[in-house]
Amino acid sequence: MNFPQWPEIVAHIKLQIPAGQANPAPPVGTALGPRGVNIMAFCKEFNATTQKQAGDILPVVITV
């Protein structure tokens, strides 16, 4: 049986980000940039997904 090869996990990044307010400034940019994550794409998707929870601080774990 052949199983697909999954990409190697390089890191788990843990952050606390206000819902709907992620931006490329620290701490998001400094945590994701060195790992090669597209910071703007992450911020746009995070903000779109969490906009209804505005005001809450969300714990986030990003697997790279």
Residue-by-residue pLDDT tens, the chain, 64 positions: 678 888 888 899 999 999 999 999 999 999 999 999 999 999 999 999 999 998 899 999 999 9
Please state the domain count of the chain.
Answer: 1
In a domain, 29, yes or no: yes
HSE toward the beta carbon, residue 8, CA cutoff 13 A: 2
Residue 54 resides in a domain: yes
Flag whether 30 is in a domain.
yes
Q: Of 21, 25, 43, nearest to 62 (Cα)?
A: 43
Q: Which domain holds residue 42?
A: 23-63
Q: Which of 10, 8, 15, 11 is nearest to 43 (CA)?
A: 15
Output the pLDDT for position 48.
97
Residues 47, 50, 52, 56, CA torsion sign: negative
Residue 32 lies in a domain: yes
pTM for this model (two decimals)? 0.83
Cis peptide before 27 (omega within 30 of 0): yes
18 occurs within a structural domain: no
5 token code pair: 């090869």
